[in-house]
Structure 1
């Protein structure tokens, strides 16, 4: 396995905006990044340059999406029918657009873990680790930020519209590796990304005058006080100015620059505009974008609930795959659609399904993943893996490998404890191109 040095310093601009739960503003987040230690790491040759992680909170039912069971009893298979895909497989009728594009992506039908609570399952799917009372593990985005830093002056880790949960954070890594959260939904008519505009009453000329004056003060202060934290503060200010004074980076967040027909193609709804924003950001240079859509915790009336939410998702993900392919970006962009767990094999008394982590489905596309494949299988009622069970650690290891990150590399946790990025995961070789 060929390795080479990482040419990118992780001291470049990392992230800005509010860090979920911690209330960090752009200046605070940049200050922490400026104080972060500068290092360079080796990595294996990547196939993917970026990741779009579509997270469906609540627990998407495998039976009503990518793993229908048409020959099981009605109380197991549910009321919905199946549809043939372009590759001859069967999906639920709720995803007709994705069924037509089944050659563009692969489905894992044997994802499995043991955590039936939302929080613990989400932790698994955002970190590759089982929850631990002793240590908070970093999310995928935080690790990617730590390993690679920024590209094209764009935040390496972005959340749309907000940091979705506490497990999408930095864990034991410094908070400077946290996500840039948009703070507003791209589908809103008044959508505006916070912290990307000059303060009221400050025009560009005044901004440049202030910057020049501060540069003089900083040079004198740093020369008189050569402490590391002073140097870090100076770097922090420079990064903040760089962000505010980089039109190309700011333009990536301006979804109004998209052609109206393209916005219509994705769908003028939360799912569509979030997917489109994700494409804009990875195209401009962001390394990992996490977006959420919907609420899939369907304990009651699952048929009606999934019919209400799935069409927008089906159309938006299909548009995203088509758009990435047409732009020549799909081969270098890993699209990963996950949920914290699946739903129970049997319909409950309220015509819904309850939490079920033993088996569920995940979609992978692009970025070194083969298209048109089904990996693993569940049993006849979608209750357990029947073959090739896949753990969150396996999924995380594969994602990191496609990005060129060695998953068992050790990072330093508090107390100078070396912790592997992922512990014990296996590569999903059959899915890797």
Structure 2
């Protein structure tokens, strides 16, 4: 066929641009015909929530507390552990670890929580597994964060591999419009097609702008060509580009986008609307936005999962934790805001029936983590510094519940050396618990391939 010299350059620019962005579509592998014919969005049968507490949390306040009657001030030189619970200036925080009241119909709690974990989250101990004594092998913020997100030790500060959420979506190919959302959390895709990418947002407004229909006029020739793509004659050059599926991929992606926009999915996250009054009430949200505090973020997660919009949500739920000076109270307040929001999210998922049977927590796996912990002793500026030994919280589907695995040392809270089959201390033949063990466990909890971690999951945690 003969090329038209007047349009060749512009069409080539368009086609190459199209080829570039096609791989980044967020609308998964769901065929448009199935998507368009669905009368209502259906929640994924298995959902995942990855909750990040940014800055390095104080695990003595959270999931690895110590008894202040044993680890006393006069023994600090011996134990190198200072709980510091007597330093609180806010009556909301008790001066000792908390064992939650027994939940109706459940066994008593086998988990002891630090004072920053409020009653709302601790009440769900019967859905939890706490892992203690994790060796982060790094004290750098970026490295620790990326290590936990991917389950692979970074090269320097550079992430290796895909985010765990990307692994989940890439393997499961969920039939939801936006398979993965990453809210103020880094996300990576190492080896999956673009439809496994997370939709990245840094605030709730970003999500609304993505899902809402645009009223902006086309302001470039490229955009006009994109809109008019299907009406143009096909040249030899275009056929060559289209041989790789660019044309059909664009067509499908555009139609999926139109379907999403026509469904006004953005309204589900506009919590100021009258139709979302119950959500506002449940999460204690104001009548007008933006809804970017911890409670608003938790409401966003619940909405995305319950309405069948997403399968995975990765979210930064607490910040202000990189404090090397100040009081115990400041750190406890920042953690409590995140833990209370997480407790509300679990309340919501637990009270809501899932169309596949049971409630949403029966179909949801939650991982709560930070890049490392804070030192078990308090420094000269009344704060805590970076510490290798970490802990994390696992909840929900595919896991055993109401248990702890591993243990940090009673001297300086050193990383655990344990029998990975049982979690019991084994100084002679034991192994350090690493972030890759946690990620392998999350993937195995849904019977997914965890070989990318190059370790076995913590099988004692698997249901």
TM range (shorter): 0.7 to 0.9
Distance 1:224 1:137 in 2: 34
2:400 counterpart residue number: 370
Q: Return the index of the structure with the highest Cα Rg.
A: 2
Equivalent pair of 2:24/2:197 in contact (CA under 8 Å) = no
Match of 1:297 in 2: 322
- The equivalent residue for 1:225 is 239
User: Quick check: 1:345–1:383 contact (8 Å CA) kept in 2?
Assistant: no
Tell me how far apart the structure 1 counterparts of residues 45 and 347 of structure 2 sit (CA, whole Å). Answer: 17
Q: Is the contact made by 1:67 and 1:382 (CA closer than 8 Å) also made in structure 2?
A: no
1:170 to 178, 182, 189: 189
Structural mapping, 1:261-280, within 5 Å: 261-268=278-285, 270-280=293-303
Moved more, 237-246 or 132-141: 132-141
Q: Distance in 2 between matches of 1:385 and 1:336?
A: 20
CA apart distance, 1:192 = 5.5
Q: TM-score, normalised to structure 2's length?
A: 0.71
Pair 27,351 (structure 1): closer, same or farther in 2 beyond 3 Å: farther
Instruction: Indicate the SS of the match to 2:399.
Output: coil
Task: Tell me how far apart the structure 1 counterparts of residues 241 and 19 of structure 2 sit (CA, whole Å).
Answer: 19
Aligned to 1:73: 72
For 1:48 and 1:396, the matched residues in 2 are separated by 20
Given that residues 166 and 188 in structure 2 are in contact (C-alpha distance below 8 angstroms), is that contact kept between their aligned partners in structure 1? yes
The match for 1:348 is 379
Counterpart Cα distance in 1 of 2:179 and 2:137: 31
Per-residue deviation at 1:355? 1.1
- Within the candidate set 191, 200, 214, 2:215 is matched to 200
Please show how residues 183-332 of structure 1 align to structure 2 within 5 Å: 183-185=202-204, 193-200=208-215, 214-217=229-232, 220=234, 225=239, 227-228=241-242, 231-246=245-260, 247-248=262-263, 250-251=265-266, 253-256=268-271, 259-268=276-285, 270-283=293-306, 284-293=308-317, 294-327=319-352, 328-332=359-363
Deviates more, 1:70-79 or 1:49-58: 70-79
Structure 1 residue runs without a partner (length 5+): 1-25, 39-46, 204-209, 409-420
The match for 2:115 is 93
Match of 1:140 in 2: 164
In structure 2, the gaps of 5 or more residues are 1-16, 30-43, 77-81, 86-94, 102-108, 219-224, 286-291, 353-358, 424-431
> How do residues 395-410 of structure 1 correspond to structure 2 at under 5 angstroms?
395-408=438-451
Deviations 1:283-324 (A, max 9, x none): 214222100022321211251222321332222111111111
Deviates more, 1:300-309 or 1:360-369: 300-309
Report how many aligned residue pairs link the two structures: 371
Note the alpha carbon deviations across 1:12-56, whole angstroms, 9 max, x for none. xxxxxxxxxxxxxx9888512479xx9xxxxxxxx9712100011
Cα deviation, 1:311-354, whole Å, max 9, x if unaligned, reads 32222111111111111110111011111111112111111111
Deviation at 1:226, TM superposition (A): 5.1
